[in-house]
Chain A
Amino acid sequence: MTDTPLLKVSGVSKFYGSRIGCKDVSFELWPGEVLAIVGESGSGKTTLLNCLSTRLMPTTGSVEYRMRDGNFRDLYHMSEAERRFLMRTDWGFVHQNPADGLRMTVSAGANVGERLMAVGDRHYGKIRETASDWLTRVEIGTDRIDDQPRAFSGGMRQRLQIARNLVTGPRLVFMDEPTGGLDVSVQARLLDLVRGLVNDLGLSAIVVTHDLAVARLLSHRMMVMKDGHVIEHGLTDRVLDDPREPYTQLLVSSILQV
């Protein structure tokens, strides 16, 4: 166990006018830990995720991230350029809709290679080699390297988005409903892939999902949100096996048994 968290979140709130987006959220994320944020549509999950990943400025609160040099920096006291650099190199963001995270009109190989160029790789042959290695890791045939994601199926696009995000060896990955909109067999494959990559690379991840089965499979820890508030927080097994809050009990009892 390392003794320093990777991310320290304290008192983060976001208001849209007088409406609450999320209210007074605090937690720490440790290296190698996967945190799931669950709750129904409109509960504030995505607002929170965006506040944590600098995509949305919180109204109050602070988010501190431990940089590679070991120092904590408050994300909202960095310059825009520093934030963008962090986002391109040390972080990944996997969108629910792959079209939001990919460039649909450049080739699959270029989608992966672009992130490498952002961290300073210039050798074309090496970039192509790494890109092709990552396509294999996410189970996309290397014969598809020159095809555009437009020609890919939904599951393939999502896997390509994951490759694009992981190629720079990020330490923290944000995922917004990574399996939403995929059919179940494709979901299972993607989940297994993500689970394996997280284990092998020792990544930390924050995963927003409304699917409790996804949370059980991927996460160590879980936060349940309702109306912008975190109403329950704990070990994933504990929250799902012994939910304490009325809303969590409703969520867990609403899962369909197969």
Chain B
Amino acid sequence: MATPLVVSEVFKSFTMHLRDGINLPVVNDVSFSVASGECVVLGGPSGIGKSSILKMLYGNYAVDAGQILVDHKDRLVDIARADPRTVLDVRRHTLGYVSQFLRTVPRVSALDVVAEPLVARGIAAAEAREKAAELLSKLNLPRELWTLPPATFSGGEQQRVNIARGFITSHRILLLDEPTASLDAVNRRVVVEMIADKKREGVALLGIFHDEEVREAVADRVLDVSQFSPRKAVAA
């Protein structure tokens, strides 16, 4: 089976220059891989570095050492070292991300927020909107909200917009940062079903799920992040 994502010996720390330059180690020696059609869940208590790992993979956090190899357009790209232009191209075509919170843009409707990743890949606006509408109705977002900008939506509504935006493309790798945190039971089940569909399509998924029921339903294996924690000696 293909392995589109390989993380190898990644180290990350923050240097807080405004706090007398103290160094906060986040994770040490992170190594794992995710295969096509597999859903790996990052486990461990809050503050152990799960979200930091996702942010490094997506290029939002710099990496101190190590490699993050992504199979992008039939060649390997090391996100840890790639220039901004390459990272953006990887995001556009290979690596999707559902963040915990939606970053809203003033005046852009929910439907267009969801359709945008497809438009960025060169698909016609009308076709992208059609696909967006399909996803939003699947996620039970009331139709009267579709044409409104999501800034004033409730937490759960915003999250569903965010999920639809992340799932609309056929990216081969999908990162999920607690996509079900503020959803009700019905919509949680919809998301679980959507993840199962992605797995069948051969997408490699890596996610954080605090909800135990969801985690059990989607995870092929749980990767305990505390093994990478520089503080594990203290914690144990």
A125 to B199, CA, bound (A): 58
A253 to B18, CA, bound (A): 9
Interface residue tally for chain A (C-beta within 8 Å): 25
CB distance from A155 to the nearest CB of B (A): 14
- Taking CB as reference atom, which chain A residue is nearest B112? A196
Tell me if B24 is interfacial: C-beta within 8 Å of chain A. no
* CB < 8 Å neighbour of A192 from B58, B59, B107: B107
User: Are B61 and A217 in contact, with the CB atoms below 8 A?
Assistant: no
Q: Give chain A residues whose Cβ lies under 8 Å from the Cβ of B58.
A: 237
* CB < 8 Å neighbour of A249 from B18, B55, B106: B18
* CB < 8 Å neighbour of A238 from B18, B60, B107, B119: B60
Q: Give chain B residues whose Cβ lies under 8 Å from the Cβ of A237.
A: 58-60
Tell me if B23 is interfacial: C-beta within 8 Å of chain A. no
Identify the interface centre among A33, A195, A237: most chain B CB within 10 Å of its CB: A237
CB distance from A196 to the nearest CB of B (A): 9
**Known contacts A192-B105, A217-B105, A249 near B61 by CB under 8 Å:** no
**Known contacts A1-B85, A188-B107, A189-B106, A245 near B61 by CB under 8 Å:** no
User: Are B108 and A235 in contact, with the CB atoms below 8 A?
Assistant: no
Summed over the interface, the residue pairs from A and B with CB atoms below 8 Å come to a total of 56
User: Are A238 and B106 in contact, with the CB atoms below 8 A?
Assistant: no
User: Are B85 and A244 in contact, with the CB atoms below 8 A?
Assistant: no
A237 to B59, CA, bound (A): 8
CB distance from A33 to the nearest CB of B (A): 7
A187 to B217, CA, bound (A): 45
A30 to B89, CA, bound (A): 13
Q: Give chain B residues whose Cβ lies under 8 Å from the Cβ of A192.
A: 105-108
* CB < 8 Å neighbour of B84 from A191, A235, A245: A235
Which B94-138 residues have a C-beta within 8 angstroms of A? 105-108, 119
Tell me if B2 is interfacial: C-beta within 8 Å of chain A. no
A249 to B89, CA, bound (A): 27
User: Are A234 and B84 in contact, with the CB atoms below 8 A?
Assistant: yes
CB distance from A7 to the nearest CB of B (A): 13
Q: Give chain A residues whose Cβ lies under 8 Å from the Cβ of B59.
A: 235, 237-238
CB distance from A198 to the nearest CB of B (A): 12
Tell me if B15 is interfacial: C-beta within 8 Å of chain A. yes
The digit string for A108-126, where 1 denotes a CB below 8 A from any CB of B, is 0000000000000000000
Residue positions of B touching A, CB distance < 8 A? 14-18, 55, 58-62, 84-85, 87-89, 105-108, 119
Known: A221-B84, A237-B60, A249-B16. 16 other contacts (CB 8 A): A192-B105, A192-B106, A220-B84, A220-B85, A220-B88, A234-B62, A234-B84, A235-B59, A237-B58, A238-B62, A238-B84, A241-B55, A242-B62, A246-B17, A246-B18, A249-B18
